[in-house]
Amino acid sequence: MAAKPIERFVKKQIADQGGWPRITERLASGETVADIARSLLTPQGQSISRSFLSRLLHDDPERSTAVKAARKEGASAMVDDALHIVDSAPADRDSVNKAKVRAELRVKVAGFIDRESWGEQKQQVNVNVNQFDLHLDALRHRMVEASRPLEQAIAEGQREDFRLLGSGSSSDSSPSDSEGAALHTCGTEVTVSAPVSRQ
C-alpha cells in the first residue's frame, strides 16, 4: 500500500530527529501538530498533512497519552510566548496592534487545547435570593392577573344596573310602585330604596 512507504519514510525522519520523545518535546514547547507536520516530508518532498501525523501520534496508546500531556504543557508555553510578544513589541502603534493580535491568537489557541486552564470560563455569579420576596412577587403577579377579569365583571355589572334603572324610570312600573328595587351586582344583592308615593 502507498501509505506504508510514506509512513516508513516519515518515521525514519522522526527517528533521525530523536524519536517520538523529541516530537512530544516540541509539542510541549508550544509547537502545534501542524507545525511539526510541515517539518516532515514525503518521498516526493512535500510536507505531510496534519491528519497523517496525528494518526501516527495516536496509533500507540502510551504515546497518545504522552502527546495529550505534552499538548497541555504546550498551551501554557503559548501563553508565555504571548506575554513575550507583547513585552518585546516596539512602542509604535502599528507594532503594538500587531503584537496584540498575535498574542490574543496564541492565548485563544491555548484555550482550545487546554480549556480547563486557558479556556473562556462562564463567570459564576453568586446572587443572594430572598425566597420570601420571590414568593411575594409571584403572589402579587397572580393577584394582578386575577383582578383584571374581576374589574371587567364589576364594570359590566354596573353598566347593566344603570341600564335597568334608566329603563325602569321610563316604564309603567316606577320606583314609586314599590318600597325598593333589588339589584344584583357580581353576585351581591344591593337594595335601592325609593320613596313611596301616597295619594
Q: Domain locations in the chain? A: 3-118
Residue 80, classed as helix, strand or coil, is: helix
pLDDT band at 10 (very low <50, low <70, confident <90, very high): very high
Quick one: DSSP state of residue 188?
E
**pLDDT on residue 120:** 75
Looking at per-residue pLDDT, the higher value among 124 and 92 belongs to 92
pLDDT tens digits for range 146-190:
555 655 666 666 666 556 555 554 444 444 444 444 444 444 444
The C-alpha atoms of residue 167 and residue 174 are separated, in whole angstroms, by 9
The per-residue pLDDT for 197 is: 47
Place of cell 491528519: 51
Lowest mean pLDDT among 3-17, 22-36, 74-88, 185-199: 185-199
Burial 49-78 (b: 16+ CB within 10 A, else e): eeebbbebbeeeeebeebbeebbbbbbbbb
Give the CATH number of domain 3-118: 1.10.10.60
pLDDT digits (tens, 9 = 90+) for 65-104: 999 999 999 999 999 999 999 999 998 999 999 999 999 9
The percent of residues in the chain predicted with pLDDT above 90, rounded, is: 53
Question: 48 pLDDT exceeds 70?
Answer: yes
Mean pLDDT, the chain, rounded, equals 77
Query: Higher model confidence: residue 1 or residue 84?
Result: 84
Q: Specify the pLDDT at position 124.
A: 42
Tell me the three state secondary structure of residue 174.
coil
* CB atoms inside a 10 Å sphere around CB 122: 5
